[in-house]
Amino acid sequence: MKFLTKILALLLLLGSLRISYAVEFEETIDTIEIRKAAMQNLWQRIKRLSPYVELKEKVEYNKDLAVTDAQEVINLLEQTKNLWPLNSNISGKGFTNATPAIWVLPDYFEKLYSSAEKSAYILKQSILDDDIDSTISAMCNLGTSCGTCHANFRRLLTSQLANEVSGWSGQYVNGCK
């Protein structure tokens, strides 16, 4: 009887550990999905801002929309800053394109991330101030920060390289000040 009780207790313990692991895994997947969605949204804002910053083509886009997009870039960077917990380092299993280097080199990742945040704040303020040179410089620095981070910390398929490179190396990133 004692033996049977011990076996049942062990089975209950193993079952609860399994449930706990499943819940943690689901939370990790949710974190990765939120991170992906936020980064894709951030990318859409950058793509909308680029023609406005370059001022080389007529766009149906005005200063108010540019300020809104710049603020949304700031918001998205703030929201995603803490979405890199160690338990989301599961790129080896195909759940994320973030490479393990993020967790191996956290100081470098933080440096690039902070640089992107700083550039986003400067971008918004320079748009508000109608300072075209500062706007171009801030967009350039934002592109450089994001592009460097993606080059170092994001796993890409060969088919994704062309889009990624063209996106972060637009004409506005020539010679950041």
- 19: pLDDT strictly greater than 50: yes
**What is the tens place of the pLDDT at every residue in 118-171?**
999 999 999 999 898 898 889 888 988 888 888 888 886 655 555 555 555 444
2-173 CATH fold: Four Helix Bundle (Hemerythrin (Met), subunit A) (1.20.120)
**What is the tens place of the pLDDT at every residue in 42-54?**
889 988 888 777 7
Q: What angle do CA 136, 173, 76 make, to 5 degrees?
A: 70
Closest CA to 145 of 173, 171, 166, 125: 173
pTM of the entire structure?
0.77
DSSP state string for 35-73: HHHHHHHHHHHHHHHHHHHHT-S--S--HHHHHHHHHHH
Q: Kindly list the domain boundaries of the chain, sorted by start residue.
A: 2-173
